[in-house]
Amino acid sequence: EHSLSVGLMHDSNVNAGPSSAIAQATNLSPSDAARADTAATLSAGISHTYQSPTPVKIGESAARFLWQSRANFYAKENFSEHASNLEVITLSTGPAWFVLNKWRANVNISLDHYQYGSAPLARYASILPSVTWQLGNSELTWDLLAQKREFARSGDIGKDSHYTAMGAYLGHVYHDTKIAAQAGIRVFHEAADRNYYSNDGTEFFVGASAITWENGSVYGRYVQRDTKWDALNLNVPLLTQNQKDTLKTYELGFHHDFKEATLKDWRITGSYTAYQNDSNISYYNYDRDMTSLTLSRTFD
C-alpha cells in the first residue's frame, strides 16, 4: 500500500514545545519567545504486509502470522519560521500474530531520523512489543517501548539516552461500535549521558470517538504527562531546584471519508490541539495551540 496526506497547520508557538523535554533540553522559553506561523504538511509512505498462507500453532490456538514493514516521510514546512521546519524519516518492520476474536500481538522495530531547521537533530532506534486481548466489546493492551536516542547538535551534548516506557490501555465500544472510548496509563524513564537530562514520570490519557454522520466521526482526547528531572543543570543559572513539569494536552477533531465524486476514497481530517505546560520553574511554562486540516488517502 501507498499513503499520501497533505495539509495546512497553524501553530501559535512554532519555535518551542509541545514536548516539555524538548523545551527543557534546548533552554527555550516559550512564554517569552513564542512565535506564531502557518505551515504546510506532507506525509508519504509505503507499506508491505506478508501473511502466512497457513495458520501457525501457538498453544491451543491457530494463529495467523504476518510481517509488516513501512517507510514514511513527514515534513512540516513553515511559511516564515524556517528555522523550525521539521522533517522525519521513519523505517519500521516486525512480525505480528493474531487469533480472530481472541488476541493479537506484534513486535515493531523502527528507526527515526529527525531534521530540524536545516540540520540533523536526532536519531531514535526503537523496539516496541505489544499484546492486545479482545474481551467481548472491550480490548486490553499492554506494550513496552525501549528506545535509544542519539542527538546530533553540538548544543545537545549529554542528551544521548536510553528511554523506556511501559503502558496498559483499556478500550470499549458501545451502540454497535458507533461509539468507542479508551483510557490508559504509561510509566517512563529516560537515562541520559548527563544526569540533568535524565527524567522519569507518568502519562495518562482518556479519549472517545463517535460516528456522528454518514461516513463521518468526531473524537476528543485528553493527555496528562508528569515529568521530573533527576538533577539540576548547573549551566542554566535560573534552575534552583529539580524541574517538575505537567504537560496537559486537549485535542478535538473530526474525520470524513468521501465515497463519491472527485474526492472518492480520500479522507479529510480537522483537529484543534491545545498544550499547556505547567512547571515549577516558571521559565518553562508555556501554552501552544495548533489547528490543522489534512487530506489523506491510502492506495492499494
Give the pLDDT of the chain (300 residues) as one tens digit per residue: 999 999 999 999 887 654 545 544 444 444 456 789 999 999 999 999 999 999 988 888 889 999 999 999 999 999 998 988 899 999 999 999 999 889 999 999 999 999 988 889 899 999 999 999 999 999 999 999 999 999 998 878 888 999 999 999 999 999 988 999 999 999 999 999 999 889 999 999 999 999 999 999 999 999 999 999 998 877 766 677 888 999 999 999 999 999 988 899 999 999 999 999 898 887 778 888 999 999 999 998
Residue ranges of E strands in the chain: 2-11, 37-51, 56-58, 61-78, 86-99, 103-116, 119-135, 138-151, 161-174, 179-192, 199-213, 216-229, 244-257, 267-279, 286-299
Phi-psi sector, 185: left (phi>0), alpha (psi -120 to 50), beta: beta
- The CA–CA distances, whole Å, from 245 to 16, 191, 226, 242 equal 15, 17, 6, 10
Given the C-alpha cell 540533568, which residue does it identify?
Answer: 196
Given the C-alpha cell 532506534, which residue does it identify?
Answer: 125
pLDDT of residue 267: 97
Beta-strand pair 86-99/179-192:
unpaired
- The CA–CA distances, whole Å, from 51 to 102, 107, 108, 154, 175 equal 18, 15, 16, 45, 32
Phi-psi sector, 136: left (phi>0), alpha (psi -120 to 50), beta: left
* Sign, Cα dihedral of 276, 23, 185, 143: positive
Phi-psi sector, 104: left (phi>0), alpha (psi -120 to 50), beta: beta
- Which of these, 87, 92, 90, 91, lies nearest to 114 by C-alpha position? 87
Dihedral over alpha carbons 274, 293, 257, 93 (to 10 degrees): -80
Residue ranges of E strands in 1-118: 2-11, 37-51, 56-58, 61-78, 86-99, 103-116
